[in-house]
Structure 1
Amino acid sequence: MYRFLLTPRWLGGTVLALVAIAVCLWLGSWQLGRFEDRFSSHKEAGKALATTSETRPIDSLLNPASPQVTTDTVGKPVTVSGSYDSAHQLLVPNRTVDGKQGYYVLTPLRTADGHAVAVVRGWAPGAPSDTSSAAVPPPGGEVTVTGRLQAGEAVGSNGAVAGGLPAGQLGTINRAALLNVLSYDGWYDGWVAADTAPAGLTEVPTVQPQGGDGLTLRAFQNLGYTLEWFVFAGFVVFMWYRLLRREAEAEQDRALGLDPVLD
C-alpha cells in the first residue's frame, strides 16, 4: 500500500521535507544558543557586580574616551569629591525599593572643575511633600562620596512622570532632564547611588540599565524564535504525514476499484 513512497515524486518530496526539518531544527538550536549566551552573560555580569570591590575615582570610568555609563561600568564602585548644592536638592517620586513605593533624594555634587554629579543620597517611603527636601539636608563643605555608578534612566521608566511635577521634583534621572532643571556647565553621565544613606533614608540598590547584554527583550525574542522554528519543523512533519495518509487511502480505494476521494 505504501509502494508509492518509492516513486520519484514521493522520494523527492520526502527528501525536501527532511531538509526543511533539518534547517528548522538547526535555526531553532541556533536561536536557543543565542538566548543561552545572553542568559550566561547576564549571570556573569551579576557575579562580577557582586564581587567588585575596587573603588575607583569617577573620572577613571567616565572620561573623554568613554563618557557614558555602559553595562561594563554600571554598578561599579566609585568615589567623587566636591561640595553638595543644597539649594537645588531634588526629589524623584515613584521609585520602588523592596516592594514599597517612595522617592529618591537627589543632591547635585559640584566638583572642583565645575562639573556636576547627580548623587542619590537615599530613598524614603511615601510621597514627597514640600518639607521632604528640608528634612534631609546634605552635609556642607568638601565631601567625598562613595557609591555605585548607575545608568541614566529612559523616559517613562520606573513609573517616571515626564512632566507636571511640582518645583523641586524630577521625573527621570538622566542628563537631559537634569540640564532642563539645572543648567550647570556640564553633568556627568548617569548618576551615583551613595553607599551610605543619612538617617531617615534607605540606600538605593543598583539598577541594571535597559538595552544591555542581559535579559533584555532581545534575549526573549531569541527564545520566541526558537519556539517558532521548532513549530515549523513540527508543521512539516504534520503535513508530510497528512499527505501520506491521503495518498495511502487513495491507493486503497483504487485497489478496491473505487474512485479515490481526495479531501
Structure 2
Amino acid sequence: MYRFLLTPRWWGINLFVVLAIPFCVFMGSWQLGRFEDRVDNHRSAERQSEAAARERARPLADLLPVDQETSGKRATAHGRWDRQLLVPDRKLDGKDGFYVLGLLKTDGGKALPVVRGWLPGDPADARVPAPPEGEATVTGALQASESTGAGGVRPAAGLPDGQLGAISAATLVNLLPYDVYDAWVTVEQAEGKMTAVPPTAPKGSGLDIKAFQNLGYTGEWFIFAGFVLFMWFRLFRREAESARDAELGLVTEEPQREVAAP
C-alpha cells in the first residue's frame, strides 16, 4: 500500500522534507542564539555601567576613542566655557523637553560637548541658565557621538539658531571655528532647576527592536519546520487512503467520453 513512496514524485517530496526541517531548526536556533547574545550584552552593559559609576574619573584623553568598553566611563576635562546650544525633542522620564549643551574649550584647543542638564518644555520659550564664567572642570559619563536622523534624532536642517539636532562632531564642526571631540559628556550633577541626563547604553548592547526581531524570527523558523512536517503528513495520509481505496476496488475510473467526428 505504501509503494507510492518509491515513486519519483515522493522521492522529491521526501528529499525536500529531509533538507527543509533541519534547515529551519538550524536557522531558528541561530536566531535564538543572536537574541541570547543581545541579552548577555545588555546585562554586561548594565554591569559595566554600575561599575563605571563607582570608578574614579579618568582624564578624557585616556578614554578616547569611545567604544563599548569606554562608553559610560567617568571622564574629567578642564577648560573654559565657550558657548551654549539647545538640543530639542529629548524625553526624560516620559516628559518632553530639551538638553542644555555647553561647549567646553579644553586646554588642548578642542571643544568638548557637555550636556549640562535637561529642562522640560519648548526650548524657544524656556529660560536657560547661562554657563559659568571662567575656567571649569567637568566630570561626567562619556558618550559616543550621535548619528543624525537615527533613533528619533532630528536633523540640523530647519532648526532655529542656537538649536542642534544631534550631539555630533560632524554637525558641530560646521558651527564652530575650532575642532570638536568625537564624543560628549553628561554631567553627574546638574545646576539649578536642570535635571542630570543619565548615560545611555552603548550602541548594540541594549534590548532594542532588533533583539526582539531575532526572537520573532526564532518562532517563525520553528513554525516553518512544523508546517513542513504537517504538510508531509497530510500528503502522505491522502496518498495512503487513495492507495487503500484502489486496492479495495473503491476507486472507479470515469468512462472516457467519445467525441463525435465533425
Task: State the TM-score bracket (shorter-chain normalisation).
Answer: 0.7 to 0.9
Distance in structure 1 (CA, Å) of the matches to 2:130 and 2:215? 48
The equivalences for 1:43-62 within 5 A come to 43-52=43-52, 53-54=54-55, 55-62=57-64
Deviation for aligned residue 1:131: 6.5
Q: What letter is aligned with 2:79? A: G
Work out the CA distance in 2 between the residues paired with 1:131 and 1:125.
Answer: 8
Partner of 2:146: 153
Alpha-carbon distance in 2 for matches of 1:12, 1:154: 51
Which letter maps to 2:60? I
Query: Partner residue of 2:260?
Result: none
1:177 aligns with 2:179: no
* Whole-Å separation in 2 of the counterparts to 1:228 and 1:109: 51
Aligned partner of 1:91 in structure 2 is 86
Aligned to 1:34: 34
8 Å contact kept, 1:81–1:111: yes
Q: Distance in 1 between matches of 2:238 and 2:90?
A: 62
What fraction of aligned residue pairs are identical, expressed as a percent? Answer: 51
Query: How big is each residue's C-alpha offset from its partner over 1:137-186, in whole Å with a ceiling of 9 and x where there is no partner?
Result: 222222111100112122134452432222111111101111122121x2
CA offsets 1:86-111 (integer angstroms, 9 cap, x no match): xx211111111111111111111011
- Paired with 2:253 and 2:141, the residues of 1 have a C-alpha distance of 76
CA distance in 1, matches of 2:159, 2:102: 17
Alignment of 1:1-263 (within 5 A): 3-4=2-3, 7=6, 14=14, 17-52=17-52, 53-54=54-55, 55-62=57-64, 67=65, 69-85=66-82, 88-129=83-124, 132-133=127-128, 136-156=129-149, 157-184=151-178, 186-210=179-203, 212-257=204-249, 258-259=251-252
TM-score of the superposition, structure 2-length normalised? 0.85
Whichever of the two has the greater Rg, that structure is: 2
Indicate if the aligned counterparts of 1:253 and 1:259 stay in contact, CA closer than 8 A: no
- Count residues in correspondence: 249
> Could you list the runs of 4 or more consecutive aligned residues of structure 1 that deviate by over 6 angstroms after TM superposition?
none
| Unaligned 5+ runs, structure 1 | none
TM-score (norm 1): 0.84
* Structure 2 unaligned residues grouped into runs of 5+: 255-262
Q: CA RMSD in A?
A: 2.4
The change in CA–CA distance for 1:5 and 1:43 in structure 2 (over 3 A counts) is farther
Contact kept? 1:250, 1:260, Cα under 8 Å: no
